Chains A and B, each alone.
Chain A
Amino acid sequence: MNFDNNLRALVTGGTRGLGQALVQQLRERGVTTVSLARTADVDDPLFLAADVGRDDAAGIAARARELAGGPIDILIHNASTLGPVPMPALADLHSRDLAHVFEVNTLGPARLTRALLGPMRAQGRGLILAISSDAAVHGYAGWGAYGASKAALDSLTRSLAAELEGTGVAVASVDPTEMNTKMHRDALPDVDPGTLASPSDIASRILTRVQRTPLPLRFVAEAV
Chain B
Amino acid sequence: MLRAAHQTRPWRATRVLDRYGVSSITELATRFSPGDLLVLNDAATVPASLHGQVAGRSVELRLVPAIGAPFSSARKAVLFGAGDWRQDTDTREPPPALAIGDRIRIADVSIEVLQIDSRSPRLVTLRFPFEGDSFAAFLYREARVVQYQHLTSALALEDVQTPYGGPAWSVEMPSTGRPITFEVLDQIRARGAKVAWLTHAAGLSATGDPALDQMLPFPERYLVRKETVRAIRSARRVIAVGTTSARALEAAQDAIRTGPASTIEGVARNKIGPSTPLAIVDAILTGVHSPGESHYELLGAFVNEEELARMHRVAEESGLRAHEFGDLMLVARERPTRPTLARPRRRSP
Is the pair B166, A65 in contact by a Cβ cutoff of 8 Å?
yes
One of B86-94, B111-119, B156-164 contacting the partner = B156-164
Is the pair A58, B161 in contact by a Cβ cutoff of 8 Å?
yes
A-chain residues with CB within 8 Å of residue B162 when the two chains form the complex: 118
Q: Which residue of B lies closest to A166 (CB)?
A: B186
Is the pair A58, B166 in contact by a Cβ cutoff of 8 Å?
no
Is the pair A65, B167 in contact by a Cβ cutoff of 8 Å?
yes
A48→B166 CA distance, assembly (Å): 17
A56 within 8 A of B: yes
A183 within 8 A of B: no
Interface residues on chain A, number (Cβ under 8 Å): 21
Residue of B47, B133, B164 with highest tally of chain A CB at under 10 A: B133
Which residues of chain B in 53-88 are interfacial with respect to chain A, using CB atoms and an 8 Å cutoff? Answer: 70-71
Contact (A63, B157) CB under 8 Å given A58-B44, A71-B166, A118-B164: no
Contact of A119 among B71, B133, B164 (CB under 8 A): B164
A56→B132 CA distance, assembly (Å): 18
A-chain residues with CB within 8 Å of residue B167 when the two chains form the complex: 62, 65-66
A-chain residues with CB within 8 Å of residue B71 when the two chains form the complex: 66
Contact (A63, B42) CB under 8 Å given A48-B133, A118-B163, A118-B165: no
A121→B165 CA distance, assembly (Å): 11
Contact of A62 among B42, B44, B141, B182 (CB under 8 A): B44
**Dominant SS at the A interface?**
helix
A56→B44 CA distance, assembly (Å): 14
Q: Which residue of A lies closest to B169 (CB)?
A: A62
Q: Which residue of A lies closest to B132 (CB)?
A: A66
A156 to chain B, nearest CB (A): 17
B99 within 8 A of A: no
A186 within 8 A of B: no
A49 within 8 A of B: yes
Q: Which residue of B lies closest to A59 (CB)?
A: B140
B-chain residues with CB within 8 Å of residue A66 when the two chains form the complex: 70-71, 132-133, 136, 167-168
A49→B71 CA distance, assembly (Å): 16
A220 to chain B, nearest CB (A): 32
Contact (A59, B136) CB under 8 Å given A66-B70, A119-B42, A122-B42: yes
A-chain residues with CB within 8 Å of residue B132 when the two chains form the complex: 66
Is the pair B140, A56 in contact by a Cβ cutoff of 8 Å?
yes
Q: Which residue of B lies closest to A63 (CB)?
A: B136
Q: Which residue of A lies closest to B140 (CB)?
A: A59
B-chain residues with CB within 8 Å of residue A65 when the two chains form the complex: 166-168
A161 within 8 A of B: no
Which residues of chain B in 127-149 are interfacial with respect to chain A, using CB atoms and an 8 Å cutoff? Answer: 132-133, 136-137, 139-141
Is the pair B137, A121 in contact by a Cβ cutoff of 8 Å?
no
B251 to chain A, nearest CB (A): 22
Q: Which residue of A lies closest to B197 (CB)?
A: A122
B-chain residues with CB within 8 Å of residue A62 when the two chains form the complex: 44, 46, 136, 140, 167-168
Is the pair A67, B133 in contact by a Cβ cutoff of 8 Å?
yes
B-chain residues with CB within 8 Å of residue A26 when the two chains form the complex: none
Contact with A along B285-310 (1 / 0, CB 8 A): 00000000000000000000000000
A61→B71 CA distance, assembly (Å): 15
Contact (A122, B164) CB under 8 Å given A58-B158, A62-B46, A66-B71: yes
A67→B135 CA distance, assembly (Å): 12
Is the pair A63, B46 in contact by a Cβ cutoff of 8 Å?
no
B-chain residues with CB within 8 Å of residue A61 when the two chains form the complex: 44
A130→B257 CA distance, assembly (Å): 45
Which residues of chain A in 58-114 are interfacial with respect to chain B, using CB atoms and an 8 Å cutoff? Answer: 58-59, 61-63, 65-67, 71
B121 to chain A, nearest CB (A): 31
A122→B168 CA distance, assembly (Å): 16
A55 within 8 A of B: yes
Contact with A along B178-219 (1 / 0, CB 8 A): 000010000000000000010000000000000000000000
A50 within 8 A of B: yes
Q: Which residue of A lies closest to B46 (CB)?
A: A62
10 A-B pairs with least C-beta separation: A59-B140, A62-B168, A119-B166, A118-B164, A122-B164, A58-B157, A63-B136, A118-B163, A56-B157, A121-B182
Please name 19 further chain A to chain B contacts, defined as beta carbons within 8 Å, in addition to the given A56-B158, A66-B132, sorted by A numbering. A55-B141, A58-B44, A58-B161, A59-B140, A61-B44, A62-B46, A62-B136, A62-B168, A63-B140, A65-B166, A66-B133, A66-B167, A66-B168, A71-B166, A118-B164, A118-B166, A121-B164, A122-B164, A167-B182
